Structure 1
Amino acid sequence: MIGLVIHASHRAVFADAARTLAGVTFEWVVYEHEDAVHDLVDALLTQQGVDGLLLGPVPYAKCRDLLPADLPVAILRSAGLDLSLALFKALARGWRPTPVSIDTYDIQTVADVVQALELDPTEVICLPYDPEQSLAEIVAFHRETAARTGADYAISLRTAVAAELQGDLGVLGGLPGPATLRAQLHELALRVQSRQASALRFAAGVFLVDKVGPERDLDRARVGLMNLLVNTPGFADAWIEDRGSRGLVVFAHQALFEQATGSWVSLPTLGQARDILGIRVAAGFGVGASARSCLHLAERAAARAEQEGRPSAYLIEDSGVIIGPMSPAGSAVTFTYRDHTAEVEQLAGEVGLSATTLSRLIAVERTLEGRAISPSDLAQHLGITDPSGRRLIRKLGDAGLVAIQGSTQMHRKGRPAQLYKLCISNAMERQ
């Protein structure tokens, strides 16, 4: 199920774009005024439990505080084709294509269209989207531009802006057309399906009890841990086996373990074993193509967790990603990749980074699932300063490990932030 948050006047266009997408149920959130978006989306998330959400930048700004971190979200971006069609519509109506004022469009998209159509860039004035902009400010921008340049019309993605300017200035809506909407819907559906397929992958967990004294005490501790797991709601649907010696094996879908660990951040069961049973437990999780592969990876992860000397857990996937240590309460985790194999060490040396930094970047790239990221957002992911994030992007760019994916500008003051797509995994495959 995908939720669509749209203005009432746009429903027909979205319905046309959505009709070719099979196997997807749409839940429509239709609003007349932007102030209603927050409550409507809150009701949707509470009552329906959608698997993905598609919405424009304005609705996103209104409800972003409600969106779960793990919910696939697509923010509508009008493409160059949509802007080009709006400019040609102006010609069809007898208006001069330029001068013109444009709101909400990405600056780079406008620049690309202006260059492709060989227009005068000084006569195309763009106001990038800023969530703090008021309706009055956007309307004033178009009116001031028209008064200064003599423009015949404006291009606006905001329905309320078009309503305010009606009668004073010609307005063309730059809403994404069915082709653009269809492409973004298909991309979101693929992300949801990929996430669901990943969650349904088979996984194994190995829980090891630290030696607590005589063999009978170890047996008692293992039985206590078994009872703790069986009575933990997060493991209710898992298959739990007594492995003998000092360990337990748990088999389940990956989604169950992700929920029990808060997406591989913490494992409260470790703290419960310490506080209730008085024992120290190390846990390892493995995600692979078969039960044997999962168990082997989980054993490696549990052995690694034991080396921490405190209650902790690790995850090892067959893709090579390692996440940990996870603590009972949820401290910061670090990422590695195949224990810094020769490929990572070699590529890190070529780029001029440490193998650890490169491993963490690979983990970030995997989390993004192909989405672009700004230098400041990358810095936030890695826990470094913004200047360090920009320097890191430049270094990755010099090595061909990032690709420019346009730009964004959250505030009118200052320069637009360039967006980049990480391409480290592709380089790893070529090693």
Structure 2
Amino acid sequence: MTLVIGLVVHRSHHRLFQEAARTLTGVRLEWVDYEAEDEIRARTAGLLDRQRLDGLLLGPVPYARCRDLLPPDLPVTVTRSAGLDLALAWCRALARGWPATPVSIDTFDQETVDEVAAALDLDRERIACLPFDPDQPVAEIVEFHRRFLDRFGGRYVISVRTGVVAAFAGAVPVLSGLAGLGTIRAELHELALRSQSKRASERRFAAGVFLIAKPERSANLDRARIGLMNMLLNTPEYADGWIEDRGRRGVIVFAHQALFEAVTHNWVSLPVLAQAQDTLGVRVVAGFGVGPSARTCVALAERAANRAEQDDSPGAYLIEESGVMIGPMGPAGHPLHFTYRAHGAGIERLAERVGLSPATLSRLAAVERGLDGQAVSPSDLAGSLGITDPSGRRLIRKLSESGLVIPEGSAQVNRKGRPSRLYRLGIGAALAAGATAPAGPGDAAGGDGGRDGDGPVDGGRRDG
């Protein structure tokens, strides 16, 4: 799936960052250009609302303005000018025939200025430095430069702030200390690698074992286990998992690590345990294992489930191959969504209109929730559903005919070959628009609602 990286830059710097990103492949860029600093927060919030990002690159000023808006798990790179960028600014001054000192500098750290000044054998007493302070207004920075110019008679200043450049326009030359093309390119590539590594980590293989605790207290153990399996099958968040029986009192789920992170709210809680207690009347515990192979994952998950069974209340644990254990995860938290039967007759009517089974449409709705507004290619959609690429393209055409996908341009994943068309799923919006339709009989959550398959589209689970 194509990486999506956001860039928050001043409008005057857009071309520089665009040139730096020219060597990236397999990445789609989402731009936020601003003219004034007070525009940054609203524009960045708009980007985060409309697009799920794999990474974000921005400067110190934008980061200070919107850091509280950024998701805690979003890889972020803050571009900072280095000593090389300061040295290059001094070289430009010398090339214009200006003396290296006196000079006033802002945004650079004191240590960086001292290091470069020492390397160039400059008079440190005739260099003023004002390090970056996120709460300092531009007017105070301009006043700092003016006082130094009046005292020492300097001919120019070195600044990274576009507001300073605008304030001195036509009066005092301002040399930019902005990070150069090579620095920005290196930071973009590093961010892309971190984002790809995070995605790869989320796609690591994992296993979850759900056990009915105290089986001797269950009047009908087989019925409780079947009810537990149906509950998992009828929860869209588990749609990409492979669900099997695990003995008489257990169910095992094979999935990517990202699925389990989602259903446990990042290993904090597991609401399905409370749903099992309320609906089935049995205490269920769970264990998760993450490792390099299916055998290791299952062994770790069983150890974690056995540990959870030692507690007196429903709970879950995670054990990784490194030996790290996380838990207990309680049953509290926001409940997960049941499949189409929780939507009433709305999704059944929509599925009939589109020509797909309700189960398939429910899985597509689960995929859409996981994308969180991000566009997807037919190939990536096919991978999420476990079907072939041609089947994915046919599915996109069928959804497009019914207005359930919106074209979102294209992405050039590889240098060679044609760009891949991108689409944004609109199933959730269509369901919300029909949510006021009255529910028909038998539309309650649960039951065997996820079992009417669509051939290979439902091939990733035992609900065939």
TM-score if structure 2 supplies the norm length? 0.67
Moved more, 177-186 or 43-52: 43-52
Contact 2:215/2:249 (CA < 8 Å) preserved in 1? no
Q: Over aligned residues, Cα RMSD in angstroms?
A: 1.9
Contact 1:86/1:173 (CA < 8 Å) preserved in 2? yes
AA aligned to 2:188 is L
Q: Deviations over 1:150-197 (max 9, x none)?
A: 222111111111110123322111110000001100100000110111
TM-score if structure 1 supplies the norm length? 0.72
Within a 5 Å distance, the mapping from 1:200-349 to structure 2 comes to 200-211=203-214, 213-214=216-217, 216-329=219-332
Contact 2:287/2:316 (CA < 8 Å) preserved in 1? yes
Contact 1:211/1:218 (CA < 8 Å) preserved in 2? no
Q: Secondary structure at the match of 2:125?
A: helix
Contact 2:291/2:297 (CA < 8 Å) preserved in 1? yes
1:128 to 117, 122, 131: 131
AA aligned to 2:131 is P
Rounded to whole Å, the distance in 1 between the matches of 2:128 and 2:280 is 68
Rounded to whole Å, the distance in 1 between the matches of 2:278 and 2:129 is 60
Q: Deviations over 1:203-223 (max 9, x none)?
A: 100112211544543333323
The aligned counterpart of 1:160 is 163
- Cα distance change, pair 5–270 in 1 and its aligned pair in 2 (3 A): same
Give the Å deviation of 1:231. Answer: 2.1
Rounded to whole Å, the distance in 2 between the matches of 1:159 and 1:171 is 10
- Cα distance change, pair 252–95 in 1 and its aligned pair in 2 (3 A): same
Q: Deviations over 1:286-308 (max 9, x none)?
A: 11222111111111222222233
Larger Rg: 2
Rounded to whole Å, the distance in 2 between the matches of 1:161 and 1:283 is 58
Give the Å deviation of 1:115. Answer: 2.9
- Cα distance change, pair 217–211 in 1 and its aligned pair in 2 (3 A): farther
Q: Secondary structure at the match of 1:19?
A: helix
AA aligned to 1:141 is F
Q: Percent identity?
A: 63
Show structure 2 runs of 5+ residues with no match: 334-464
Rounded to whole Å, the distance in 1 between the matches of 2:110 and 2:281 is 60
Rounded to whole Å, the distance in 1 between the matches of 2:149 and 2:278 is 70
Rounded to whole Å, the distance in 2 between the matches of 1:301 and 1:214 is 22
Q: Secondary structure at the match of 1:162?
A: helix
The aligned counterpart of 2:122 is 119
Q: Secondary structure at the match of 1:263?
A: coil
Whether 2:82 is the aligned partner of 1:79: answer: yes
Moved more, 164-173 or 245-254: 164-173
The aligned counterpart of 2:12 is 9
Q: Secondary structure at the match of 2:252?
A: strand
Rounded to whole Å, the distance in 2 between the matches of 1:310 and 1:181 is 52
Contact 1:82/1:176 (CA < 8 Å) preserved in 2? yes
Q: Deviations over 1:96-141 (max 9, x none)?
A: 2222222222333223322322333333322222221111111111
Q: Deviations over 1:263-318 (max 9, x none)?
A: 22222222322344333222111112221111111112222222333322222222
1:40 to 21, 39, 43: 43
Runs of 4+ aligned structure 1 residues displaced above 4 Å come to none
Within a 5 Å distance, the mapping from 1:359-398 to structure 2 comes to none
The aligned counterpart of 1:179 is 182
Give the Å deviation of 1:46. Answer: 2.1
- May I ask how many residue pairs the two structures share in their alignment? 330
1:191 to 191, 194, 215: 194
Moved more, 92-101 or 169-178: 92-101
AA aligned to 1:217 is N
Give the Å deviation of 1:49. Answer: 1.7
Higher RCO (CA-CA < 8 Å; seq separation 6+): 2
AA aligned to 1:282 is V
Rounded to whole Å, the distance in 1 between the matches of 2:289 and 2:149 is 62
